[in-house]
Chains A and B, each alone.
Chain A
Amino acid sequence: MVEKITVGHVHMSGCTGCLVSFADNYEGLFKILDNYADLVYALTLVDVRHVPEMDVALVEGSVCLQDKCSVEEIKETREKAKIVVALGGCAAYGNITRFCRGGQWNQPQMESYVPIGDLIDVDVYIPGCAPTPQQIRNVCLMAYLLLKGTDEQKELAGAYLKPLMALAKRGDEACGCDLMYDVINQGLCMGCGSCAAACPVRAVTIEGGKPQIERDLCIKCGACYAQCPRSFFNFDVMNEFEGISELIKEVMQ
């Protein structure tokens, strides 16, 4: 087996759901750790106190501006990781932490939470609350192929990751309104229902063939827009779905 990449899980203000989701690859997680990635940093899983050098940092959670430790840690992560991945809605878009008002017992002054992209450049976004185990797995494998694969694999992995990198460039605000602004208002919606299926809080229903967003329910995780085939659709990748699905199955066995 060729050399592995190093991956760390950096925990900001999140609920640990992203880490649980990563672990929910079950034996797939062991496969990833056995063959493709060394976990060099992770709360409770790895006994390392300070952010080390690593290839890929999976960052969960948003940054609390009043928590000096978190601010330092996210900056350190950017310095020490080749690729920074915003893992999940909080890191990418603020998600549920966008709604916080502070006032929690013993740290009432901690009230301002921002997605990591407000403080550092982010390379890849994995939206969703929680991001799915399969999406995290796919990104891990593609990151591995991008860094360690053959030229052909590098090209495929690059094409796969491109839209997720474009999401990171697009900005760090997201909500169900994106479906209106970027899809319906742009004359692109064709009423497939992907957004409604993707929403973890059932804030999206389909009315008259188009998404209807219950904005009070929306947690700003970005899943609906990212899942929409009319947000991004990569022919290079999508036309190869059978081969890629088989490749993933094969390398995870």
Chain B
Amino acid sequence: MTTTLEQPAQTTSQEPAWLAERRASGLEQFKNLPMPTAKDEKWRFASVGRLSIDNYNPAEAPGIDKLSVLDKRSSLVSERAGRSVYVDDTQAAFEGISEELAAKGVIYLPIDEAVEKHPGLMEKYFLKESTELGSKKFFGLHAASTRAGAILYVPKGVTIEAPFVNYYWTSGDRSAVFPHTLIVAEDNAYVSVVDVFFSEGDQNEALNVAVANIHAGAGANVFRKVVQDWNDKTVSFQLDTTVAERDAQVKNVAVNIGAERARYEAQTRIEGPGADVKMYSLTVAEENQEFDQRTYQIHNAPNAVSDLLYKNALLDSSRTIFSGLIKVAEGAQQTDAYQTNRNLLLDPSADANSMPGLEILANDVKCSHGATSGNVDEEELFYMMSRGIPKRAAMQLMVFGFFEEVIEKVASDELAENLRALIHKKFDAKLSQPT
């Protein structure tokens, strides 16, 4: 491999021994593990031949003008409890929390500051959890290289209504970024976070290896939203994990629009009874985009609920892969777990692959999964046309109707409106062409 990523950028501050060790072992993992191959079950259907991480360099700091321009463009959510903006892994803005929240013990800091000021907290949670879904190699690279990202800690019983919003931009060419979001919600805390992934323009080729870890304590409520709209020259990995303790509620809604190819791994581990985890995703794919989605709902405790809904709409020669697994461990009785993957194929060349899986080791459970792939329903289309709606408009209505089930779940009018605008920007031209 000729990549320069094996020599990650040196940190400016002195890192503690535990972190240096995690970074070193991450680098070893990256160097020693082989690249995935077509024979690897965890990469089934993925075009691993197109997966090249060679020739990217750790991102260089952009100029001050660029930082300020992109800071201004980071405006998807107006009301917020905190906001951070990173461009090419360089901090462009970090709006900290109010004194009131600080007084309650809430922590919202960039990684390096958090490591310096809260070493105990960081040693306990930072870079500790990785998915088991096939990307250990890339997690290793992330662990070695990540410097940009926001750490959020919410103490017991603290409720924060407004969301924290983290923007991660790329602008440099052939540059690699490693955004990291860590959310620790202690018992009965309530918090929401929006992570946004954008490219400055259409031209820069970038590699993104992002990780987000959520730890939801007993009775905690964590709501995370992801907006991904990289340009179509970006290769993206997003490796997310959630750990939910007793009675925790975690909801994750991801809207994926961009990237040349994007691999999204989402793993949820339920460790306490009464937990309730929702995993929702909407992906809109066009041209030669490939979205590779791997999910894992692990039930290690009884009486818990998990629900997953992944919807993909495919245009042109785009591809999607959904591989999901529900695992119910022995003893996790009264588990209630669902998993649904729906693919809407809008072009004969589009390619949807679906592998909804179950591994059940307890008998008193309600587990089911479903997958459907199909085109726009001709009858519905005919019905609308017979009511005077032109065909193109009818198609649009049906496609946006398909999206809406997930968009509504972000539960914010402003964000939902902005997401609709992003999707319209991408699809209006396509859908208004004669079919």
Query: Does B bind A?
Result: no
What residues of chain B have their CB less than 8 Å away from a CB belonging to chain A? Answer: none
